[in-house]
Amino acid sequence: MAVSKELLDILVCPQCKTPVRITADEKGLKCATCHRVYPIRDDIPVMLLDEARVESE
């Protein structure tokens, strides 16, 4: 797995603090509250607001 389970268990959105979930393509981590998707680069989650894209749903 690109991102370890240990990290997935504790990572939240830095903006609204909602736990993030890995996207279907496993290339990002999505916040269900603000719909931001944080990219995963070189297997490292990029939890920065201005690097996230906002998905419509």
Partner 1 sequence: MAQENSHQQRDRVRERFTRTAEVFSSFVLTTRTADAELLVEMAAPRGGECVLDVACGPGTFALQFAPRVQTAVGLDVTPAILAQARAAAVAAGASNLFFVNGDSAALPFAAGTFDIVCCGYSLHHMSDAAAALREFARVVRRGGRVAVADMVVAPPGSFAVNNAIEQARDSSHVRTLLPDEFPSMVEAAGLRVSECRTTVSPRSFKSWMSVGGWKLGEETYEATRRLMAQSIEGDTSGFHPLLAEDDSGDIHFQQTTLFIVAEKP
| Contacts to partner 1 by CB under 8 A | 4, 6-7, 10-15, 17, 19-20, 38, 41-42, 44-50
Rounded least distance, CB 56 to partner 1, Å: 22
| Token code pair at residue 44 | 């490292």
Rounded least distance, CB 54 to partner 1, Å: 16
CB 33 within 8 A of CB 27: no
The torsion angles phi and psi of 4, rounded to 5 degrees, stand at -65, 155
- Is the Cβ of residue 17 or residue 54 nearer to partner 1 in the bound state? 17
Rounded least distance, CB 4 to partner 1, Å: 5
In angstroms, the CA 50 to CA 7 distance is 21
